[in-house]
Structure 1
Amino acid sequence: MNKFLFKHIDNTGLVLWRVVFGLLITIQAFGEILLGSVKRNFIDPEFTFNFIGFDFLQPLPGNWMYVYFAIMGIFGIGVMLGYKYRWSMFFYALMWTCVYLMQKSSYNNHYYLMMLLCWLMVFLPANKWLSLDAKQNPLLKSPSMPRWVILVLILQVWIVYTYASVAKLYPDWLDGTTTKLLMAGKKDYWLVGDILQQEWVHYTIAYVGILFDLLIVPLLLWRKTRVIGFAVSVFFHLFNSIVFQIGIFPYMSIAFAFFFFSSETLQRLFLPNKELYNASEVIVPKQKTLLISCFTIYFIFQIGLPLRHWAIPDDVLWNEEGHRLSWRMMLRSKGGILNVYTVDKATGKRVKYDYLSMLSKKQRRNVKSKPDIIWQLAQRIKAVEAKKGNDVEVYMDVKIKINGSPYHRLIDQEVDLASVPWKIFTHNPWILPSPVDYHKKEERPTRENILKNPNLELNNN
């Protein structure tokens, strides 16, 4: 075990990863400002839907979130240059974690992965070469690292891809429904828009997605298939970048290849002047037990957390309980209809509540189909009315459609959501059971059927 974990190997891959990762997280921070995401997600909304339990994390007032992201970008530059590396990485990780937990309107599994990688990088010796730290302190400089460093990164990536593949093994993905709906919004893309509407493309994307996520790490691990795996990875992620426009994640994923290619290859291509380490020393640290224990607990958590929805009744696709932090990426298309009613406890008067004026455009889309956000909206409405001197009950009339199915009622409209707690790891009973046929696709009426049944209407949308 000591030889497996603590044998020293060349650190060229980790050094190159630090530079690229630092560049990408810097682009992420400044890009959020330049592309308007900071304004849309943190400045324009009256409030944010934070992760439940982190209500104390709210955006800074006025335009201070611009400053917040700019400071984060500066720490990203520090990571890239290897300047005060651990502090730069620590503060970026802390600030990004706060950003991630502060709002769910732009929830993205890729942002969660970035948060995990930031925290892992805090503890990795990534500034031992090609860094300002090593230049200023020659005693820090080293061409090697313990093997556990690369194993931790590969295992983290492997977990993500494996769960992403397994999550796709459900009917609406396998029959091309989900990819068809995802591609429907791409029909105006230059050159490829019409191609993306073809049925064979939908099936290709669906099954290539499953196989890629399942096999890419084994392909990169095996020397004989490594180059093929890398070529497939580059094509796959560039396709995702162009079609889905998902920020830095495709390029971060391509950079994962640094963990798999030999140091000789990486040194020859990128750092020809770097010393190549091949002494294979085994150096067991004094904190061996603590180190192994911490990473064991961490990976048990990483493997177990995505499985929690199996301990919750009903389908996660319907109730969303256990969906977040589970690598369930781009799996469904959801729409909803939401009406909110309040009842004044003093008078018993029931009124339809104008909740839309409280929300930004993006928040309005999310609040109509996600139970946790619906519950948070009820809490917010109760608090707003309490400030006006009104003690109210809050009732939600919610219907959702999943992957083109007909609308079905999601929430028990007889339950005052402002008075019930949110259960994180167990089922919330006010979420109604999924209908037996909620996967059934909604058939578009034909003119022939309308003549037979005048109650049907054509929908050309």
Structure 2
Amino acid sequence: MINKWLFKHIDNSALILFRIFFGILITLEAWGALFTGWIDRTLMAPQQTFNFIGFDFLQPLPGNGMYYYYFIMGIFGVMVTLGYKYRWSLSAFTVMWTCVYLMQKSSYNNHYYLLVLICLFMLLVPANANLSLDARNNDKIRSISTPRWVHLFIILQLLIVYTYASFAKFYPDWLDGTVAEILMRSKKDYWLIGGLLQEKWTHITIIYFGILFDLLVVPLLLWKKTRTPMFIFAVFFHLFNSIVFQIGIFPYLSLAFCLFFFPTEVIHKRFKIRKEYYDKGEVLVPSNAGLMKAFFVTWFIIQISLPSRHWFIRGDVLHTEEGHRLSWRMMLRSKSGISTFQVVDKNTGDTTLVKKEEYLSKKQLRTVSAKPDAIWQFAQRLKKKYAAKGQDVSVFVDAKISVNRGPYVQLTDSSVDLGSAKWDYFFHNEWILLPEEH
């Protein structure tokens, strides 16, 4: 029964169109970084980047290397769009994008992580089976159908993303409008809409529309009676996010996902991509069906587990950041911090107050003042810097943070040598103080 459900073939128009839109968007993401100055600000100007812990070996290429890197990524995006050497070009883009994602987290964005996941998904599916140069050059891969699991996979992935994003908003500072007010305060100079964004009713709309949209968008797109009005709401919602928050390709990628919710007849009527569509409904079970099902189960166990892991780590994730990344906690809080780093020579007792601005960019200074993992990494790098000069030192950090412009509270135990401390990937790091502990 489950084989019939997963491997029944349906028309592949949605998948083919999505590949084209996806290719265009990843091209714009790569080449857009060239023209907006993002590469220079984030990867080239800083002396060092703050990688995901364990990936310090990934560092920006010297000179103008990152410009060439992103230009090449854009070329691979064009190849994906055209469906030319699709597997090879998308594999290359996926590796390059994942390396950049792991290379820096000062400009962390959940959407970058989502793009990694979608790249992996697109590598699994025959998205070049039609309207592609590959299909034109090789009749063996040409097809107008795809297994049903392709649609089910993307719908379930989106359900996880949106549901966790909705649940994360159920906390006091979101529900009382504090977060919405803070987010909109920085937009007051926007032309035409800046004043409107400061209104109380706008904040209330953002609060509840944000929760309800994330919670209901997938179910209501699945239901025929609500699909069209929900899509109209989605267009408004994502365009609002694009204009106000300027979050790159994600709003448009989200709209492209809607293709997987509409019936074949509607897609063919709107896009007219070919004269015929598939309606035979054959069930073609591949020889590796068991392995595929094991992969699907493993994938979704991980996708459900990662965003919920912070509930099993002691402390509030808003304060500690432990379990924040890879968890679809998007635009939920404003955070600022104050930190001082002291280096103490273990042999002489001499103490040096570190001038952070000599090592870090402005954005990195904010990161190192509020994010415990970056604080730990900077302390580790200071220790290595002094060790290279033959000094054995301890690094002590006094950091205080404010969440959603609340009172500053102590974040780090300033008596702990972070130069010698180990990072705990899975549980609470005891040197990160919890509000109730002081």
TM-score of the aligned structures, taking structure 1 as reference length:
0.93
Q: Do 1:30 and 1:73's aligned partners in 2 also have CA atoms closer than 8 Å?
A: yes
1:207 aligns with 2:186: no
d(CA) in 1 for partners of 2:270 and 2:127?
Answer: 19
d(CA) in 1 for partners of 2:129 and 2:365?
Answer: 48
Q: Do 1:7 and 1:282's aligned partners in 2 also have CA atoms closer than 8 Å?
A: yes
1:307 aligns with 2:344: no
Q: Which amino acid aligns with 1:39?
A: D
CA deviation digits over 1:91-118, x for unaligned, max 9? 1111100000000011000110011000
Give 1:313-324 correspondences, 5 Å limit: 313-324=314-325
Alignment partner, residue 93 of structure 2: 92
Alignment partner, residue 403 of structure 1: 404
Give 1:263-412 correspondences, 5 Å limit: 263-412=264-413
Q: CA deviation at 1:275?
A: 2.3
Q: Do 1:309 and 1:316's aligned partners in 2 also have CA atoms closer than 8 Å?
A: yes
CA deviation digits over 1:226-282, x for unaligned, max 9? 000100000000000000010000000111110001111111211353420001000
CA deviation digits over 1:132-167, x for unaligned, max 9? 000011221110000001111111111100000000
Alignment partner, residue 111 of structure 1: 112
1:33 aligns with 2:30: no
d(CA) in 1 for partners of 2:133 and 2:79?
Answer: 9
Alignment partner, residue 195 of structure 2: 194
Q: SS where residue 174 of structure 2 aligns?
A: helix
Q: SS where residue 374 of structure 1 aligns?
A: helix
Alignment partner, residue 457 of structure 1: none
Q: Do 1:163 and 1:327's aligned partners in 2 also have CA atoms closer than 8 Å?
A: yes
Alignment partner, residue 13 of structure 1: 14
d(CA) in 2 for partners of 1:92 and 1:420?
Answer: 36
d(CA) in 1 for partners of 2:268 and 2:337?
Answer: 53
Q: Which amino acid aligns with 1:347?
A: T
Q: SS where residue 73 of structure 2 aligns?
A: helix
d(CA) in 2 for partners of 1:406 and 1:156?
Answer: 38
Alignment partner, residue 442 of structure 1: none
Q: CA deviation at 1:433?
A: 1.3
d(CA) in 2 for partners of 1:35 and 1:187?
Answer: 22
d(CA) in 1 for partners of 2:415 and 2:25?
Answer: 48
d(CA) in 1 for partners of 2:348 and 2:219?
Answer: 65
d(CA) in 2 for partners of 1:235 and 1:363?
Answer: 34
CA deviation digits over 1:365-408, x for unaligned, max 9? 11110000000000111111112222211011111100110111
Q: Which amino acid aligns with 1:312?
A: I
1:71 aligns with 2:68: no
Which segments of structure 1 move beyond 2 Å, counting only runs of 4 or more? 271-275
d(CA) in 2 for partners of 1:54 and 1:342?
Answer: 25
d(CA) in 2 for partners of 1:77 and 1:89?
Answer: 10
| Structure 2: runs of 5+ lacking an equivalent | none
Q: Which amino acid aligns with 1:300?
A: I
Q: Which amino acid aligns with 1:368?
A: S
| Structure 1: runs of 5+ lacking an equivalent | 438-461
d(CA) in 1 for partners of 2:335 and 2:118?
Answer: 29
d(CA) in 1 for partners of 2:366 and 2:36?
Answer: 20
Alignment partner, residue 135 of structure 2: 134
d(CA) in 1 for partners of 2:187 and 2:236?
Answer: 19
d(CA) in 2 for partners of 1:119 and 1:185?
Answer: 35
d(CA) in 2 for partners of 1:199 and 1:402?
Answer: 21
1:170 aligns with 2:181: no
d(CA) in 1 for partners of 2:34 and 2:272?
Answer: 33
CA deviation digits over 1:164-187, x for unaligned, max 9? 000000000000000100001001
Q: Do 1:408 and 1:435's aligned partners in 2 also have CA atoms closer than 8 Å?
A: no
Q: SS where residue 419 of structure 1 aligns?
A: coil
Q: SS where residue 384 of structure 1 aligns?
A: helix
Alignment partner, residue 238 of structure 1: 239
d(CA) in 2 for partners of 1:398 and 1:238?
Answer: 38
d(CA) in 2 for partners of 1:70 and 1:154?
Answer: 31
d(CA) in 1 for partners of 2:72 and 2:193?
Answer: 39
Distance 1:179 1:283, change over 3 A: same
d(CA) in 1 for partners of 2:269 and 2:199?
Answer: 43
Q: SS where residue 398 of structure 1 aligns?
A: strand
Q: SS where residue 399 of structure 2 aligns?
A: strand
Q: CA deviation at 1:436?
A: 8.6
Q: SS where residue 417 of structure 1 aligns?
A: coil
CA deviation digits over 1:314-361, x for unaligned, max 9? 111110100000000000000111111110111011221112210112
TM-score of the aligned structures, taking structure 2 as reference length:
0.98
Distance 1:319 1:272, change over 3 A: closer
1:182 aligns with 2:172: no
d(CA) in 1 for partners of 2:272 and 2:95?
Answer: 31
Q: Which amino acid aligns with 2:127?
A: A
Query: What is the count of residue pairs matched by the alignment?
Result: 437
Q: CA deviation at 1:300?
A: 0.3
Give 1:441-460 correspondences, 5 Å limit: none
d(CA) in 1 for partners of 2:296 and 2:46?
Answer: 38
**RMSD over aligned Cα atoms:** 1.1
d(CA) in 1 for partners of 2:389 and 2:358?
Answer: 16
Alignment partner, residue 50 of structure 2: 49
Q: Which amino acid aligns with 2:117?
A: L
Q: Which amino acid aligns with 1:157?
A: L
Q: How many percent identity over aligned positions?
A: 59
CA deviation digits over 1:274-328, x for unaligned, max 9? 4200010000000000000011101100001111111111111110100000000
Q: SS where residue 322 of structure 1 aligns?
A: coil
